[in-house]
Amino acid sequence: MNRSSLGRVLLVGVLVLPLVGGCSDDKKKQTTDNDPDDRPTVVVTAQPQDPQSARLAVEQEFGLLVGGDWAGVWETWTTEAQGALSKDSYVNLLSTCPSQGQSYQVVDVKPVDASTVTVDWQRQNAAGAQENGSTTVKYEAGNWRIDPGSAALTAYKNGTCA
C-alpha cells in the first residue's frame, strides 16, 4: 500500500469512527421516569348506559349500606344530591341511625328514559319486617348515580333518618 492510499484509509477511518461510536451510544440511551413513552396509557371508559348497569349501581349501594360505609354511599349520589347535603352531615347523621337492613333484593328494574332508571327492591329492616322501596338512578357524566330523592334529602337536612 502506498502512502497516499494509507492516508486515505486513515482519513476515512477517522471520519467513520465518530459515526460508528455515535450509533453505539444511542443504543445505551438511558430512560428516565419522566419519559412520556414509558408511562402507561389510561383510558377512561364510561359505564354502559343500560338498565342492568343501573341495577349494579343500586346493588353496590346496598352493599355499602349493609356495611355501614356512609361516606361510600354519599359518593354514589348524583352531583345535585351531593350539593344539597354535605358528606360530613350525612355520615354524622347516619352513624346515629338504626341499621339500614341486612338483606336487600332487587325485584324490578324499569327504564324511565335513556338516562333514568327506577330500581324496585325489598329489604328486611332492623325490626325484621319486610319493606318495599324504590331507588332512582341517573346516568351522569358516564356513570350511574343514585338519586336519594327530595324527601330523603329533606329528612337528612332536618336531622331525621330516612
**Per-residue confidence band for 105, with pLDDT thresholds at 50, 70 and 90:** very high
Q: Name the one residue in this structure whose C-alpha cell is 348524583.
A: 78
**Number of helices followed by number of strands (H, E) in the chain:** 6, 4
What's the mean pLDDT in 2-31?
46
Q: Please report, rounded to a whole number, the percentage of residues in the chain having pLDDT higher than 70.
A: 72
In the predicted structure, residue 15 carries a pLDDT above the cut 90? no
- The more confident residue out of 24 and 41 is 41
- Let me know: does 79 contact 145? Beta carbons within 8 Å: yes
- Please report, to the nearest 10 degrees, the dihedral formed by the alpha carbons of residues 82, 83, 88, 89 taken in order: -100
Go through the domains of the chain in sequence order and give each one's CATH number.
Answer: 51-157 (3.10.450.100)
CA–CA separation, 49 and 124 (whole Å): 30
Give the tens place of pLDDT for each residue, 70-81: 999 999 999 999
State the pLDDT at residue 40: 67
Give the tens place of pLDDT for each residue, 140-159: 999 999 999 999 999 999 99
**Per-residue confidence band for 110, with pLDDT thresholds at 50, 70 and 90:** very high
